[in-house]
Amino acid sequence: MEQMNGLVDAVLESAAEHGLWSPHDTIVVAVSGGPDSVALLHVLHEIAANRTPLKLICAHVNHGFRVESVEEAELVRQLAAELDIPFEMAEFDIPTLAKDSGLGPEGTAREKRYQFLIDTAHRYGAQAVALAHHADDQAETVLMRLLRGSGLSGLAGMRWKRSEKKVQLIRPFLRINKTALVGLCQENGYPYAEDASNLLTQYTRNAVRLEVLPFLERYNGRLGHSLLQLAEIAGAEDDYMEEAATRCFDELVSVNSGKYTFERVSFAAVPSALQRRLIKLILNYLSADSSITDFSKIESVRRRTLQEYPTTWSLDLGGGLTCIRQYDMMLFSSKPPKVQASYTYRISLPQTRLSLGEIGKVMTMTVLERESFFLRGEQSELMSAWFDLDELVFPLTIRSRLPGDTIKVMGLNGSKKVKDIYIDDKIPSSERSIIPLVCDGLGNIVWIPGVRRSMHAAVGRHTAAVLLLSLEDGDGTEET
């Protein structure tokens, strides 16, 4: 009983520190039948009976891997009955399911197991699912991730709790060694099953536990303790950095229609550690695919963002994600920028309004007599332009941009390429396709709304009547 009390005290201390549960919570306990999960069920039962009121549900999964699976399921069923705990079981033919899943036997088993545990929690209205991962498992996990080249988040190992589908997955044993759990079962005569597959080194985790860790412990006898300590430190610092990254995101990033943007100057002022976190956070918001956020991809985006030149570029990040630099702005999107279809419209008097459905805009024409125009005064609105009505050749054409387009800009000898004007004005490439061009009846570009007007049909002292062209947001009404 002394050993049980010691484990109960240790678990309660960890539960209080990490907020694993509250009094009267319902907890689904995952019990495979091995010594770790059998010990977990007994310890939580002791806590529920004598320390903190909890409702427990015993859940077991038969993966169909081994002939002993039926015996293990019966062992867990009897254990739940002895403790008067509700029992739930699922049976899966993992070898068959794995052929179609693409995840392999281990991945398929894990997916089905967690799906069943969470579904069981939902059925019982449980706040958490308790898993029997212990300190030895944690050390193995950290070492495996270290060998893979993981970052700080990976070195934190398994977390004390994490949320999945509104259920907390909790691990009360992360500071308790397996020897203590086996000792509890043996001292109290708790029956448990031995899984022979745990001795097969064809599985990576088994190889790390049976070969790699013992080899490294020849050079550091406290390697397991060191790895646990690393996980604790990395976990706390990772949590702190995540909070800092969230604050940074709120301060620097704008979100509009599923696109995330920030200014390069503001980004450059942030420490490199937060720069990486910020990029990773944006990519996580855009995609659930964890392969999108590998270090090399994040670092490539970070370094290119900090470079002065080139000032415009687009980077395919995979999974449908795109990172675009538009001069001083960075844009992340889950879809490539939408390329507008080409369009051409004709407009002539007495027509006064034309709807441009492709870009969601409306072009209006208003004729003003000379006196009323000069009394009103020429205004400098970017989305309006004034022309000498008698000098302007009709019909007008409103169309999308074509390669090689040029315009005779007022105050400039000769013509200038529209593309060069867009570059000089630092108009993002993603916005250029939605700027219409207004041409006269001879094909001359006379106005680029919001950008430039040409030298054609300029209003002067000789002007008798003025044509006012305006580009406005569309309101869904038909042209007249």
Known binding-site residues equal 32-37
- Classified as helix, coil or strand, 172 is coil
Scanning the structure block, which residue is given the tokens 């520190």? 17
CA dist 137 and 381 (Å) reads: 68
- Measured distance CA(184)–CA(391) in Å, rounded: 98
- Inter-residue contact 278 to 248 (CB < 8 Å): yes
**How many Å apart are CA 446 and CA 467, to the nearest integer?**
12
Cα–Cα distance, 22 to 33 (Å, whole number): 26
> Which residue, among 118, 132, 124, has the nearest Cα to 167 in the 3D structure?
118
What is the 3-state secondary structure of 185-212?
HHHHCCCCCCCHHHHCCCCHHHHHHHHH
Provide the token pair at 88. 């739930």
> Residue 212 region, left (φ>0) first, then alpha (ψ -120 to 50), else beta?
alpha
Looking at the DSSP bridge assignments, the partners of residue 259 are 256, 333
Tell me the binding residues for ATP.
32-37
Which residues are registered as beta bridge partners of 397?
346, 439
Kind and range of the H or E run holding 17: helix 2-18
Q: Strand 353-356 and strand 26-30: pairing?
A: unpaired
DSSP sequence for 203-270: SHHHHIIIIIHHHHTTT-TTHHHHHHHHHHHHHHHHHHHHHHHHHHHHHH-EEETTEEEEEHHHHHTS
Q: Which two tokens stand for residue 410?
A: 């007022």
**CA-to-CA distance for 279 and 71, rounded, in angstroms?**
50
